[in-house]
């Protein structure tokens, strides 16, 4: 049989590839001969994916709640993939940087837009019932959400603003972790003690998050930005892209999320207790938290008005192509 020269060329290349590691091409060709074709369902693990929704009650809308949380975690995973590319690559240039940050922004913008699925997409009565079987679990325990923050900025930016002045950028991550902002939010309404939701989260994730903080000390997004060439650092598109990230993660997503808490949990005269037991009305609104990744990039008025809706709108108007 006369083999097509293209095929012969590939066979020679494959032979070289396997010979370089002392392996036999013929065995691999046998493997190819006997193996079945790949299918969509095996590649994407569709069947497994569809077994991962396990409601705790009989209310049909609970499945919406579970699936939307899972969708969010997958988008968070996409963000982590971009952060990893940014910190793993040596000599990141402006183009690579901008492409990755824009991707993270587009993931967050999809989440912000789709949050309506939570706000308006479940029956209020069903929600108030099925949530009681989820205690004390809460989205507060999303480790990927915290990892995104750690990858975005210097750790000191995540220290609660009341304690930040006691630390510097060189302080140990472990000592700063003691006063990480989210602990302040997770206090029990009645006793002022750490919520059990927080205790569980700390038992499972504290060490991992401290380790990530150490790892990202010199490779978080802000540090990668600071290592760009001067022309890239001063490129308005690059500056706008990380400003937008700051607003997407610290204002737009928290605002759309807060809207859902208000829709389901706000009830006069007394608000409904959250599953994580936090003082959520004081904790969740971004204008109280004032989490800001890149204060150097904002003017005093913008910092002052952080978390109020104007800033979100204003920055959304930027074009980032």
Which positions touch ligand HEM (CB under 6 A)? 68-69, 72, 118, 138-140, 142, 145, 182, 185, 254, 257, 260-261, 264-265, 274-278, 280, 284
Closest contact distance (angstroms) between CB of 186 and ligand HEM is: 7
Q: Output 277 or 307, the one with its CB closest to ligand HEM.
A: 277
Token pair, residue 239, equals 């500056």
Q: Output 177 or 280, the one with its CB closest to ligand HEM.
A: 280
Residue 53, SS3 per DSSP = coil
C-alpha to C-alpha distance for 67 and 169, rounded to whole angstroms: 39
- Residue matched to tokens 């001067």: 230
Q: Output 205 or 264, the one with its CB closest to ligand HEM.
A: 264
Closest contact distance (angstroms) between CB of 82 and ligand HEM is: 18
Q: Output 18 or 264, the one with its CB closest to ligand HEM.
A: 264
Cα torsion for 54, 56, 58, 62, to the nearest 10°? Answer: -70
* Selection from 205, 250, 233 nearest residue 297 by Cα: 233
In degrees, rounded to 5, the angle at the alpha carbon of residue 92 between the alpha carbons of residues 73 and 246 is 45
Closest contact distance (angstroms) between CB of 162 and ligand HEM is: 16
Closest contact distance (angstroms) between CB of 258 and ligand HEM is: 8
CB 34 within 8 A of CB 99: no
Closest contact distance (angstroms) between CB of 35 and ligand HEM is: 38
Q: Output 164 or 233, the one with its CB closest to ligand HEM.
A: 164
The neighbour count for residue 113, using CB atoms within 10 Å, is 11
3-state DSSP percent of the chain in helix, strand and coil, to 5: 65, 0, 35
Q: Output 223 or 281, the one with its CB closest to ligand HEM.
A: 281
Closest contact distance (angstroms) between CB of 142 and ligand HEM is: 4
Phi-psi map region of 177: left, alpha, beta (phi>0 left; psi -120 to 50 alpha): alpha
Q: How far apart are the first and last CA of the chain?
A: 53
Q: Output 185 or 307, the one with its CB closest to ligand HEM.
A: 185
Residue 32 φ/ψ, nearest 5 degrees: -65, -40
Closest contact distance (angstroms) between CB of 195 and ligand HEM is: 7
Closest contact distance (angstroms) between CB of 81 and ligand HEM is: 17
CB 234 within 8 A of CB 240: no
């Amino acid at each position: 049989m006369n083999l097509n020269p293209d095929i012969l060329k590939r066979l020679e290349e494959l032979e070289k590839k396997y010979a370089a590691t002392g392996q036999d091409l013929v065995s691999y060709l046998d493997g190819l001969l006997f193996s079945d074709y790949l299918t969509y369902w095996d590649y994407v693990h569709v069947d497994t994916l569809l077994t991962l929704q396990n409601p705790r009650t009989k209310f049909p809308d609970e499945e919406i709640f579970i699936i939307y949380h899972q969708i969010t975690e997958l988008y968070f995973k996409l963000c982590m993939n971009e952060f990893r590319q940014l910190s793993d690559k040596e000599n990141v240039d402006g183009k690579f940087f901008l492409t990755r940050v824009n991707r993270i922004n587009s993931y967050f913008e999809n989440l912000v837009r789709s949050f309506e699925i939570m706000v308006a997409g479940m029956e209020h009565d069903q929600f108030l019932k099925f949530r009681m079987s989820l205690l004390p679990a809460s989205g507060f325990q999303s480790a990927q959400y915290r990892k995104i923050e750690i990858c975005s900025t210097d750790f000191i930016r995540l220290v609660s603003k009341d304690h930040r002045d006691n630390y510097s950028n060189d302080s140990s991550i472990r000592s700063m972790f003691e006063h990480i902002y989210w602990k302040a939010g997770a206090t029990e309404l009645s006793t002022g003690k750490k919520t059990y939701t927080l205790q569980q989260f700390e038992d499972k994730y504290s060490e991992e998050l401290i380790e990530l903080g150490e790892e990202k000390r010199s490779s978080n997004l802000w540090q990668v930005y600071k290592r760009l060439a001067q022309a890239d650092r001063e490129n308005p598109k690059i500056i706008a892209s990380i400003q937008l990230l700051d607003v997407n993660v610290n204002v737009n997503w928290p605002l759309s999320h807060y809207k859902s808490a208000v829709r389901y949990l706000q009830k006069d005269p007394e608000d409904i207790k959250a599953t994580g037991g936090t003082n959520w009305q004081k904790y969740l609104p971004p204008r109280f938290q004032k989490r800001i990744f890149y204060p150097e990039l904002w003017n005093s008025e913008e910092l002052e008005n952080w978390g109020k809706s104007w800033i979100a709108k204003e920055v959304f108007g930027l074009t980032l192509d």
